[in-house]
Structures are given as structure tokens and as C-alpha cells.
Chains A and B, each alone.
Chain A
Amino acid sequence: MPGTILLMDNIKDVLDKWGSLLEGAGYRVLKALTLEGAEHVLRDRWVHLAILDIRMVDEDDENDISGLLLARKPDFAAVPKIVLTAYKSFEYVRMVLAPNEEGQRPAVNFIAKDEGPRKLIQAIEQAFADQIRINWNLDIQWDQREPLSFPHLASLLQPDLSNDILVQRAGELEDLVRRLFYDYQQIRFGRLLWHDGHRFCVPVLARSPQGTADPRILVCGDRERLEQERKKLDGLAPQTFQGARLAGTAETTHFGANAYELPGADIETVQTLRDLFQIGKERPLKTALAHLLGDVLEAWHQHGQMVQETHDLMSLYRQWVGLADDDASQAEAEQRVEWLVQTARTLGAVEIKRGGGVVTFHFPSQSPVSYPDPVATVYAPLTQYDSPVVCRASPGWLTAENVLVDAEQRIWLTDFARADQAPQWWDFVCLEAAIRFDLSRAPELVAWQEFEECLVSPVYLHDRLQDKGGIADLQTSVALIEQVRRQAGSEAGPDPLPYYAGLLAWAVGAMACYDPRVLYTQADRMRGVHLLLAASMIVGRLGEMTASSSPQGELRLEDDGSVWVGDHCVASLVGQEFDLLQCLLKHALEDQFVSRQTIVESVFGEQYVAGDVSQESRINSLISRLRDKIELDQGNPRILTVKSKGYRLRR
């Protein structure tokens, strides 16, 4: 395969002469007489190599290093460069070939024009072998049932391209893959797992020349996003993380690729959470969800925790769902929701009226029900919640597509682009929202109303969901959501208010994604109306929760770790949290406080060392975690600090 080379020189005769020589050597040459022309080619086209002159502005000015400055631009770092110049000095060579702090050189070689074409061709061949590394002999095969193509994949990443640019991007994408699988003989693409307009994910089986087959999950997309994804995974993933491992990366001008391996998983049987849900069997779904919640997410959440200075939880949620903090954003969200209200009329199942800060739903044969407008609620501070927001390391945005499940119901995460510190309820909110809004199917909108009533009724996250059993299609969803909430309550405490607020923000963010210019299917429009109904009912529930009080009654700890306040199970404890509460309860019965020494000796099982900073820190951390889980009323705490002595529990 011929390589494509950008050749830049400000003297036309020189450009034509060297251009002809390179074409004679079998290369495709794109010529640029100016810096702007060269930059245009580098930005818009895909070239394997750039050959750049140094003095592009003034031939007589030894300070003119404009060509070198172009070579240094980070945007074009993925394209190797050779400097071709008439001006030979060791200072120029230093500027061109000395590595910077990151170990990167502006160019891969420095050739003097009077060294002649053979020297240049040698340097080009060397660059193709050492830096460009495109596996021209790679045999690329496609899934026969759901075949893909590079133009199709390129159009998923950059949907609005003209045909001629699309052809170029498809070629660039193919080179990216040939670069990533440089050491392989053959690869076979599986079916598309997910795409989000900027990236796509697909399984690839790669065969080496020795015949070994290496399964990979390939994520391709915008180069900077992929680089960011690598950094986030590197910085945030827990060391004990047993998930996808980065096995290789490659870059071109516009695209980047990350290849992940799934140790121990049979990639041919891996399916998305959506696929598994559509099979309809509850047991494997619950097993997979248990692995996701108890192993994968818990490892992430324990890996990093921080307390945000802000108390404005809703503002943090808005950032996560992509709603900007300004009036224009709110106005646009309002318009999108208004469009959904109009759309509902065409569905005929419900009449929706919106105005004066209220949304009213008229279901057939029922009295109208009104709720406060969800958009306004999302754009206002959550007055019922006034505590510093605890954030934990999160893999980002979990969806029904980017969570993969293998044959043994083990979970594999594939999307880390938005990994960050997120409000501690966020991952659970995403999971519930995926089940609630993207996976669940109901025959009619009235069924959604029953479903939503069931989901907004609990007083605590641990409460059982009162599924009336009317809609068989939704029973699995209810069971799975209950499973998610139980883990959320166990990790973040039983208070459902911040959790419901996250669901509300998720739903409004999803409604704001509806673009009136797009032609939606009836199912898509039904989902939009379901989002509006759910968001409205959640807002109604949040309003009720303002007036509600914390549960009353005695605090009990059962042998299975469940913590009860009156009739409500408020938390589930294991390990040291269980031991600590047991210790506090035992002393509370005798109306005694628990000293820090007792905690170290009884709970940690260690000898107490007065002034040991590590022990003090672990005690504080354990007390804090227990408070998060069992304190329901911040104004009336159960665990009291006995200054300089220890802690006392009010049962």
C-alpha cells in the first residue's frame, strides 16, 4: 500500500522537484506551499508522514523556525515528521530532534536537501518501519450476520461528513486499526456493542502469526477523548479492579483506539446488559447485577472518596447529566419538554398540560393528577438536602450497552471516558435509570403510571418495592431496581432523597436530549413521555419528603447485619461496621460510652497505641462510614461523640 505524505516547502520549484521524486518512489504526495496550506492538510486530511521545511516565511532569517513550530503543534503529534532543509546547523538539529520533557521529539529525522533524494527516501522508509507502523498485510474480516465497514464506523464517529471526507476518514480509521494490530496476521470484527456519536465499541478477535487468538474489546473515537479515557482509567480505577485491562493503544490525526482485554472471559459469548435483559431470565440478571454492585462498583467506590465543598447536590447532578448552569440551558430544556408534551398528544394514551409551574396528566377514566414542573425543580437547589456532598470514584456513565456480561454473569465495564468523582448515589442512579427508562417495556402508558407509583413510594432505600403485580412485563425490572437500591442504601445510607434527586436529574437530562428535528419512532416518543411522567412523579415525591420526618423507634441490629429503626430496615452492615455497631449497642445497653481503645481492641483486633495517627484515622473513618449508613436525621444523631473519650449510641 502506498503511503500518503504531506510535503511543505515555500519554493514552488523545490516543492515540485521533491514531490516528483517522492511520487516516483511510489508515495501519494499532498503538496503545500504555505504554512496555512500544510496546516489545512494536517487538520482535515489523513497523512502518514509530513516532510516540512523550517524557514517558511523568510529564507534569509535564521530565526525563522515557522516550519518547526508547525511540527511541534500537539494537534498533529500523531503524524511523524521529517525536517527537510537547506540550512544545516547543529542548533537546528537540536530543536528538531531533542526530546521534550515528555520524551517526544518534534520530528523523527533531519535531512539536508543537499544529501539528496536517496537519503530522504531512506529516512521515509525508516519512519514507516519504526514510527508509522501500519500493518498493510493485516487480513480484516467482518461479522457475517451483522457486517460493519470502515465508512459505516467512520460515520458513527463523525456523522455530518461530506462523502469525500467520509472516504478519507474511513481510510484513516482503517490505518488506525492496522496500527493497533501491527503484530497480528488477522482480525475479525464482531457486532457493534455500543456507540455514542463520538466513540464506538466492538469486540475483535485477533490472530497472531504464531496462531494464538487474542480477544479484545476495541473502543475507537475522537483522539482526545480516547486519551482522556486512558488517563481517567489510569488515575481512578482501583488497583484491585478485576475488569477490562488496557492491552494496546493507537492514534491517528483524528482518531484514537484503546484495545481492552477481558482476562478469563470468552469474548464470543459476551453480551450487553440489554441483550441479557431481552432474554428475559431474572436469575442471570440478578447474578450479573450482584457482581456489578458488590464487586465491581464497590471496588471503585472504596478506591476514592472526597467531600465536595458545595452543598448544592442538584448542581452537581446537572453537571453530570450535561445541563449547563445558565438560563439558556434551562430555556432549551423547557422547550424540549414542551415538545414532548405536544408529542404525547399524537400517542393518544394521555393528555398532558403544562403551565404555571405545574404538569397535569389526564389518563383515561381517571382524575387528573398534577405535579410541580420537573425542569424548574432540577434547576433549583434541593432545599431539603443541606449537607456536604460525598463523592466517590465512579467509572462514569453506566448504560444498558456499555456494561457487558459474560457467560458466567461476570461484569465487564467498557466505557471510562467520564470516570470521575461523582455523588455517591450516581452509579446506582445510572443503573436504575437504565433499567427503568431504557430496558423496561410496558404495553401502554397507564402501566408506566403504576410502575412509577411503585418506584417513588418507598420511604427508605432499603424498603421493599410494593409491586402490585399488575404488569408481568415489569416485575423483573422492579426486582432489579430493588437490588440496586439495597446496595445504594448500604453504601450511601437509607435516605432516598438524594437518590431520587439523581433520578430526576437523569430523567430531565434525557428529556433535554430529545431534538424536535429528529424523526422519532413511537417507542422513542413513548419513552420521552414516560420520562416526563416519572420526573413529574419524582418531583411530587420530593415535595412530600420535605414534610416527612425521620423514622421513629428503637435501633436494632440483626445477626444478618440488617439495621432496623422501628419498622424500617435502614441499612445492611458487614465486617467492621457490623462489629462497631454491635459494640456500641452493647455499651448502650449498659448506658456506657465506647472508648477509642475499646474500638481498636474489639473491632480492629489490635493493641491500642495512644497517639497512633493511623489508628486514629481508621477509627474516624469507620465512625464516619457507620454514621453515613445509619444516621437518618442529621439534627438528631444517634452516634454521639464523647469529647476526648469515645462514642455513645442513643438507641
Chain B
Amino acid sequence: MTKVLFINGQSDRHWIESLEQTALCLGESLELADHQHLEGVSFQNYALIIIDAGAVNNPISTVRHIRSCNSQVRIVMVSSTPHWKQARETLLAGATDYVRKVDGREAILDILRGSLFRMREGGS
């Protein structure tokens, strides 16, 4: 079972539940981390880390920090209000992808499938 970490602000229960259920359907285990308490998180343990751009104070620094801890992990930033500059800085900081955060199981499935499929294709 692949481990997926979602870094959020605990404010969007509905989306988290959808993500949790979708991950389970794909056979993945989801863990949650509060963006304010990342110090103790061991990023080495995850294959995919999803960051909610809207819930994290400094998403670019967060990406940079995770990348410095784990050069192989896939990092996907989701944003309800995507912006091209944020996409640029996020990807240049080391994120693997930057996508619109949309409701609905199908949309979440797309995000997970996209990342996990690419991860397996890439052999990591």
C-alpha cells in the first residue's frame, strides 16, 4: 500500500473525506498533516505528498523543504484559485505538479491517478 500524505489546514473536511475515500478505493493509505506542525513529519515515508496551497502559509517554502528531505517523492500542489505565477514558483521549487483543487470524486481520482500512475511508470 502506497502512503499518501495530505498537508492541509483542517478547514476543508468535505474535500479531505473525498480524498480519503478515493485513496482507499485505489488501495492507497492516506495520512493527514497539519501545515502548522510539519516539524515532526518524516517525509521519507511517503510516495506522494499533496499540499493544499490555500491552507499553507508559505507553500513554496514547504515544497522546497519537503524536496530537500526527499528527492524522490512526488509533490502535488492543489489550489482552489490557481495562478500561473504560483504554479511557476511551485514547480521551480521542486513540485511535480500543480493542479486545480476541484470537488468531486472523479476530479480527485484524476489527481491521484495522474500522480500515482506517473510514479509507477517512473519506477519510483
Interface residues of A (CB under 8 A from B): 88-90, 92-94, 97-99, 101-103, 105, 109-110, 112
Contact = CB atoms under 8 A, between A and B. Distances in A.
Contacts of B99: 94
B118 A93 contact: no
B121 A98 contact: no
Given A90-B82, A90-B84, A93-B98, A102 B91 contact: no
A124 to B, nearest CB: 15
A98 B96 contact: yes
A97 B88 contact: yes
B88 A93 contact: yes
Contacts of A105: 91
A101 B121 CA distance: 7
20 contacts: A90-B82, A90-B83, A90-B86, A90-B87, A90-B98, A93-B84, A93-B87, A93-B91, A94-B91, A94-B97, A97-B88, A97-B91, A98-B91, A98-B97, A98-B98, A99-B96, A101-B118, A101-B122, A109-B88, A109-B92
Contacts of B88: 93, 97, 109-110
Contact of A102 (B86, B87, B98, B122): B122
Nearest to B92: A97
A63 to B, nearest CB: 17
Contacts of B84: 88-90, 92-93, 110, 112
A370 to B, nearest CB: 60
Contacts of B122: 101-103
Nearest to B91: A97
Contacts of B121: 101
Which one of A90, A99, A112 has the highest number of Cβ atoms from chain B below 10 Å of its Cβ? A90
Nearest to A99: B96
Contacts of A97: 87-88, 91-92
Interface of B: 82-84, 86-88, 91-92, 96-100, 118, 121-122
Contacts of B97: 94, 98
Contacts of A90: 82-84, 86-87, 98, 100
A94 B118 contact: no
Instruction: Report the 3 A-B pairs with minimum CB-CB distance, sorted nearest first.
Output: A97-B91, A90-B87, A93-B87
Nearest to A111: B88
A94 B98 contact: yes
A97 B87 CA distance: 9
A97 B91 CA distance: 6
Nearest to A87: B84
Given A88-B84, A93-B87, 11 more contacts: A90-B83, A90-B86, A90-B87, A93-B88, A93-B91, A94-B91, A94-B97, A97-B92, A99-B96, A101-B122, A103-B122
Which one of B83, B88, B97, B99 has the highest number of Cβ atoms from chain A below 10 Å of its Cβ? B88
A112 B85 CA distance: 9
Contacts of B92: 97, 109
A109 B92 CA distance: 8
A105 B91 CA distance: 10
A453 B86 CA distance: 79
A103 B95 CA distance: 11
A94 B96 contact: no
A105 B92 CA distance: 10
A587 B81 CA distance: 84
B115 to A, nearest CB: 11
Which one of B82, B83, B91, B96 has the highest number of Cβ atoms from chain A below 10 Å of its Cβ? B91
A98 B93 CA distance: 11
A112 B100 CA distance: 21
Contacts of B83: 90
A131 to B, nearest CB: 12
A89 B83 CA distance: 7
A524 to B, nearest CB: 50
Contacts of A109: 88, 92
A108 to B, nearest CB: 8
A90 to B, nearest CB: 4
Nearest to A101: B122
B123 to A, nearest CB: 8
Contacts of A88: 84
B74 to A, nearest CB: 10
Nearest to B71: A103
A428 B63 CA distance: 55
A242 B40 CA distance: 43
Contacts of A93: 84, 87-88, 91, 98
A102 B91 CA distance: 15
A112 B83 CA distance: 13
A558 B5 CA distance: 68
A88 B86 CA distance: 12
Contacts of A103: 122
Contacts of A101: 118, 121-122
A92 B100 CA distance: 13
B90 to A, nearest CB: 9
Nearest to A105: B91
Contacts of A89: 84
A315 to B, nearest CB: 35
B26 to A, nearest CB: 19
A105 B95 CA distance: 12
Nearest to A108: B92
Nearest to A102: B122
Which one of A97, A109, A110 has the highest number of Cβ atoms from chain B below 10 Å of its Cβ? A97
B85 to A, nearest CB: 8
A101 B99 CA distance: 17
Which one of A88, A99, A103 has the highest number of Cβ atoms from chain B below 10 Å of its Cβ? A99
A89 B100 CA distance: 12
Contacts of B87: 90, 93-94, 97
Which one of B84, B97, B99, B118 has the highest number of Cβ atoms from chain A below 10 Å of its Cβ? B84
A103 B94 CA distance: 10
A99 B93 CA distance: 12
Nearest to A115: B85
Contacts of B100: 90
A94 B98 CA distance: 7
Nearest to B122: A101
B112 to A, nearest CB: 16
A98 B63 CA distance: 14
A140 to B, nearest CB: 33
A80 to B, nearest CB: 13
A92 B82 CA distance: 12
A86 to B, nearest CB: 12
A98 B118 CA distance: 12
A548 B24 CA distance: 72
